[in-house]
Structure 1
Amino acid sequence: MIRFFDFVFSLIGLLLSLPLLSVVVIIGFFDTGSPIFRQQRVGRYRQPFTLVKFRTMKKDTASVASHLASKDAITRFGRFLRRSKLDELPQLWNVLTGEMSLVGPRPCLFSQEKLISEREIRNVYDSRPGITGLAQINDIDMSTPRLLAETDAKLLAELNVRNYFHYIVMTLLGKGSGDRVKG
């Protein structure tokens, strides 16, 4: 049932946000010269997939988890995209294609070995990664691997249609601050 909702909502979201996506791409060209950001992430069953987002950091920024990146790497437009969570919109494509869900554990980088290990212990990789979830609305990010993995496991154990919609609504209402970047 959740996959059905993922498909329908991501398709509708992409169609309705197409004008906004176009504007962000145009502004992004002026901001960084390359508005779309693609990165290999750990997906379901630890399979790699290419996550798609709007670029919020300078083009030459090292590919590290957000909590390890420098605040200076974020562009002014990127700050706006992160605050408004518009940088996540292109991930609706990942949801539409079945690589992600709207609700689930945020996909990490393959270099985040501690988090991968903690998630494996808790069978988190048996599910699709998501755009939002329990950890995101509670400001738990990838800088605390064990807590994040425990929260992800709790999310998955308690995930039902009601919670699915709850996490989406809480995210749309601005709950959670997104990925932290060091000062």
Structure 2
Amino acid sequence: MGLKVRLSIKRFFDIMSSTFGLVVISPLLLIISIFIKITSSGPVFFRQERLGKAGKVFKIIKFRTMVVGAQNMGDGLKVKGESDSRITGIGKFLRKTSLDELPQLFNVLKGDMSLVGPRPPVTDHPYTYENYGKVQKKRFLMRPGITGLAQVTVRNSVPWDERIEYDIEYIENFSIRSDLKIIILTGIKVFKKESIYREVK
């Protein structure tokens, strides 16, 4: 099966899965939105510019888990742990269960993202698009994902450059079977509630 066919199947699967998922979880999305609105001031969703396929900038959508303007307070983009005072009460729960990621299904449906792929970095961290190395830029050959190979292997436990190596490995060995495996492993890790606060600079 050629790459073009595999990518077409991947996109078809993304559209069908995100559409079905949004319909099924719409009551949950509404409940979470209400809780966020009544427990902290600010918008329900958090939108942030990220680098997508070919370095194209898009706005990722998540449920807001921190106080408004958190990126300009304390440690900025770095979140050391659940004790971070910028995280809201419900935000701790959403982060622990990864429910804050659910709105990214809208990004998948729109075509900015895929269910599986390299996680989209912010526009200036760890590098601007122009400052990624030639080999490192391979991670931008496909749409970024809600989950990916790096997320089910090392997550935030290694520096960015090492995570990029996993992204490149995913790109070079992409298959529908590997995507399904990553989705299953992601479900297992979410169920086990593994820590997301192991950031290494």
TM-score above 0.5: yes
| Change in CA separation of 1:71 and 1:120 when aligned onto 2, cut-off 3 Å | farther
Counterpart for residue 23 of structure 1: 31
| Change in CA separation of 1:126 and 1:20 when aligned onto 2, cut-off 3 Å | same
State the distance in 1 between where 2:110 and 2:133 align.
23
Q: Deviations over 1:74-97 (max 9, x none)?
A: 122111101111100000000001
State the distance in 2 between where 1:119 and 1:178 align.
30
Once the two structures are TM-superposed, the CA of residue 68 in structure 1 deviates from its matched residue by 6.9
State the distance in 1 between where 2:65 and 2:57 align.
22
Q: What percentage of residue pairs aligned between the two structures are identical? A: 34
Once the two structures are TM-superposed, the CA of residue 121 in structure 1 deviates from its matched residue by 2.6
Q: Deviations over 1:28-48 (max 9, x none)?
A: 102323221111111111111
2:14 alignment partner, one of 6, 30, 34: 6
Counterpart for residue 72 of structure 1: 85
The one-letter code of the counterpart of 2:52 is G
The one-letter code of the counterpart of 2:68 is K
Matched positions, count: 182
Are residues 1:121 and 2:135 paired?
A: yes
| Change in CA separation of 1:145 and 1:60 when aligned onto 2, cut-off 3 Å | same
State the distance in 1 between where 2:11 and 2:113 align.
10
Between 1:28-37 and 1:128-137, the stretch displaced more is: 28-37
Once the two structures are TM-superposed, the CA of residue 157 in structure 1 deviates from its matched residue by 1.5
State the distance in 1 between where 2:163 and 2:44 align.
29
| Secondary structure, counterpart of 2:146 in structure 1 | strand
| Secondary structure, counterpart of 1:109 in structure 2 | coil
User: Do 2:154 and 2:163's aligned partners in 1 also have CA atoms closer than 8 Å?
Assistant: no
TM-score, reference length from structure 1: 0.89
State the distance in 1 between where 2:182 and 2:155 align.
14
State the distance in 2 between where 1:59 and 1:74 align.
10
State the distance in 1 between where 2:195 and 2:113 align.
18
Are residues 1:111 and 2:124 paired?
A: yes
Once the two structures are TM-superposed, the CA of residue 136 in structure 1 deviates from its matched residue by 0.8
Once the two structures are TM-superposed, the CA of residue 156 in structure 1 deviates from its matched residue by 1.4
Counterpart for residue 51 of structure 1: 60
User: Do 2:126 and 2:160's aligned partners in 1 also have CA atoms closer than 8 Å?
Assistant: no
Over the residues paired in the alignment, what is the CA RMSD in angstroms? 2.4
Q: Select the structure of larger CA radius of gyration.
A: 2
| Change in CA separation of 1:40 and 1:157 when aligned onto 2, cut-off 3 Å | same
